[in-house]
Amino acid sequence: MPERDADKKAVMPEHARRVGGGTAESKGGAHQTGAACDEHVGDQGSLTMEEVVCRENMLIAYQRVVGNRGAPGVDGMTVDALMPMLRERWQDIRDELLGDRYVPAPVRKVEIPKPGGKGIRMLGIPTVLDRLIQQALLQVLQPCFDPTFSEHSFGFRPGRSAHQALEKAREHMAAGHRWVIDMDLEKFFDRVNHDVLMSRLARRIEDKRILRLIRRYLQAGMMEGGLVSPRTQGTPQGGPLSPLLSNVLLDELDKELERRGHRFVRYADDCNVYVRSRRAGERTLTSIERFLRERLRLQVNREKSAVDRPWKRKFLGYTFTIHHQPKLKVAPESVKRFKGCVREMLRRGRGRSLACLLAELRPVLIGWTSYYRKAQVRITFEQLDQWIRRKLRAILWRQWKRPWTRAKNLIRRGLAHDRAWISATNGRGPWWNAGASHMNQAVPTRYLCQLGLVSILDASRRLERSN
């Protein structure tokens, strides 16, 4: 047996009964939804703390937490230090969980700017140990709650994705529902009412130890600048359990929309309802706002919410064309944000070789293309490819600096002597020269691809063919 596996067995011995179904040997995403649950786990009230702390479930949780890496919490412990700590303390921690005595540590407050500079998003980073326990809870709770969620909910659910949500939205538009109620829940993760959420959880969980542990996580303080402030509402983003809790709460909204017969798509706290007219949309938005306020104690941000045409709004980074059979395309805001990211990376990389820059840029281009590959309007990809190539040529022009160096490099790259000197001494700026014919000839696309440049258009086509 490998040394690492032996360590895990020593840390988390088999105290609980073996879990039915053999989920410990399953692969991939099945771990999260199938681990540590008996065949009867979907039945109301069958969830127990013993299932949470059983060895198989904890091992899978450990693998996921270590695989996700993540930043340290308030105690400064990294994922690499988790196993040594568990060797010493796991038995005591397990006894505290089973005895309903475990108290989570405060979360570390982190603020990150929202896209487009539209405010600040607050994150709460739990300690590595608390992430492990939350992940173990998630693996037991998810199979119980997920089958009961609406088929119109796509966020943070096994086997569902943002791409599926976008396709469903497109289907609603194609069916004639060409007005959208774009709802924005005001500071949703900061405003979740603990009592309302716990009452929804208690409908399916009878083990009071699990309920009290979840409430302790909700009420765990937030540390900033060495001071811990208590929390009376909200479920800060940053922990593994937070997305499931948000789905549990908002499932009541889904059920209400289904009861009324609305066509809608929800991804986490982004909810779009599709109707046939503006008047119906305004009436529905007012009614939903009242339902959220009275039943779930949530507020709709009227400034960001609107009843409008779908092709004038952004949903999950995409928007739509105006056609009766609409097509997906990348939203202008998403293009602007992507350009800002690339621009910042290239600015930091001045003075370095193009090969080094492209090695750093490559995973960003691949990741962005992977998400936006569903866009059917491909001209955006072609324009971005042209813009990136021009940015790279502008960097080269700056690096060459003096007219003599520029002329020498242009000649070396195949330009005639006279043309090279005229181009090198034209007095124009780097951006103009990067788009001029002499730089396109001297630094062709083929050369940039050999250095490692990824074409967004070509990559999107390859991804579509592979799917």
pLDDT digits (tens, 9 = 90+) for 228-240: 777 777 887 888 9
The tokens of 433 are what?
């020269």
Stated as kind and residue range, the H or E segment containing 311 is none
Sheet containing strand 120-125, edge to edge, reads 120-125, 107-113, 222-224, 227-229
What are 264's strand-pairing partners? 273
Residue 423, pLDDT > 50, answer: yes
Please report the pLDDT score of residue 222 as a whole number.
81
Residue 21, pLDDT > 60, answer: no
Integer Cα distance of 196 and 191 in angstroms: 11
pLDDT digits (tens, 9 = 90+) for 368-421: 999 999 999 999 999 999 999 999 999 999 999 999 999 999 999 999 999 999
Q: In 10 A of CB 25, how many CB atoms? A: 8
Least confident of 156-165, 184-193, 393-402, 448-457: 184-193
* Burial group, residue 58, by CB count within 10 angstroms (0-12, 13-18, 19+): buried
Integer Cα distance of 281 and 448 in angstroms: 50
Residue 61, pLDDT > 80, answer: yes
pLDDT digits (tens, 9 = 90+) for 91-107: 999 999 999 999 999 99
Please report the pLDDT score of residue 287 as a whole number.
96
Say what percent of the chain tops pLDDT 90. Answer: 74
Least confident of 110-114, 145-149, 379-383: 110-114
The tokens of 188 are what?
């949703």
Please report the pLDDT score of residue 12 as a whole number.
55
The band of 114, judged by pLDDT with boundaries at 50, 70 and 90, is: confident
DSSP state of 27: -
Please report the pLDDT score of residue 112 as a whole number.
80
Contact 327, 377 (CB under 8 A): yes
DSSP state of 149: S
Task: Give the distance, in angstroms, between the CA of residue 74 and the centroid of all CA atoms in the same chain.
Answer: 23
Global confidence as pTM = 0.83
Please report the pLDDT score of residue 22 as a whole number.
32
- In 34-162, the DSSP E strands lie at 107-113, 120-125
Integer Cα distance of 160 and 150 in angstroms: 12
Helix intervals (H) in 265-304: 278-291
The band of 117, judged by pLDDT with boundaries at 50, 70 and 90, is: low
Mean pLDDT of 36-48: 52
Residue 187, pLDDT > 90, answer: no
Contact 38, 56 (CB under 8 A): no
Please report the pLDDT score of residue 39 as a whole number.
40
Please report the pLDDT score of residue 236 as a whole number.
75
Q: At what angle do helices 242-259 and 194-202 cross, to 10 degrees?
A: 80
- Which residue type sits at 41? V
Please report the pLDDT score of residue 13 as a whole number.
44
Dihedral of the CA atoms 214, 217, 220, 224 (nearest 10)? -160
